[in-house]
Amino acid sequence: MHEWCDPKWCQYLQAAANGQTFDHSKSSIPRSCLDMIKPAFDELCSRDSLERVVGGGSQNVNEAFHSLLLTMHHSSSSTVMVIYGVQLVCVILSLGLILLTISNMPLKIVELTSINNEQRLEEYEVSWNNHCYCLDGSGGNRTSGYSQATNAVLTCIATQFAGKTYRSTISNNCCVWTTDTYECYQLTSNCNSAGPFTSGPILACTYDQQHYSQQLTFCGSN
């Protein structure tokens, strides 16, 4: 990884330039913490992760969302304030998308019409930010063409699942499994029974980690 570093601040490259051996054993971060961080670092630097942002600059949609949210709240903010912040970020990003679409409309009217015709939603899907999202009792398994999505995205579109149904499988546990460590949302209407849902998921699960065989799972199109 050092080939990506700048010699101005990389002590390894500085040592190599001076013909010295750099001691990697010294670190201000405890070894136990490094062992926890390294898998995430390796994943972020993997070819699969990097391919996701090719042609899209250095910041993906989730990073932009989180960056804007962190400008509003400190890490010690209360849960209520964070929820309000998430909702506000959704409004800001949605407004920006609307303004961008309007400004480009004269030039891309044909292109936009084509996209709208192609992206016809299924009865179980909700559209947001150029992706389609669904709930399914897949037990955390990825459905073809979909990947698990985040609690942050679900916060923005949870209410839109009213009237929707499971993608293919009825769940056997109501907490919504996302990519986040903990499950925060729960489907309280038509839970573990056939849809359509009378309402969307709500904040009802508290730091749950339920992983049943047909766990209700939140997924978004790739």
- Full domain range(s) for residue 18: 7-45
Do 86 and 15 reside in the same domain of the chain? Answer: no
174/134 same-domain check: yes
Banded model confidence at residue 1, pLDDT cuts 50, 70, 90 = low
pLDDT of residue 30: 74
Domain check: are 184 and 131 in the same one? yes
40 and 91 housed in the same domain: no
pLDDT for residue 173: 92
pLDDT at 136: 92
Q: Is 143 in the same domain as 163?
A: yes
Instruction: List Cβ neighbours of 59 (8 Å cut-off, separation of 6 or more).
Output: 53, 67
Together in a domain, 108 and 186: no
Q: Distance (Å, rounded) from C-alpha 113 to C-alpha 129?
A: 16
Considering the entire predicted model, what is its pTM? 0.47
Q: Are residues 216 and 142 in the same domain?
A: yes
52 part of a folded domain? no
What is the tens place of the pLDDT at every residue in 119-149? 567 889 998 888 899 999 999 887 778 889 9
User: Does 50 fall in a domain?
Assistant: no
Is residue 213 scored above 80 in pLDDT?
yes
- Cα 19 to Cα 13: distance, rounded to the nearest angstrom: 10
As a whole number of angstroms, the distance between CA 93 and CA 88 comes to 9
pLDDT in tens, 63-102: 667 776 777 666 566 777 777 778 777 777 666 655 555 5
Mean pLDDT (whole number) for 191-208 = 86
Per residue in 151-192, pLDDT (tens digit) is 888 988 999 999 999 998 999 999 999 998 889 899 988 888
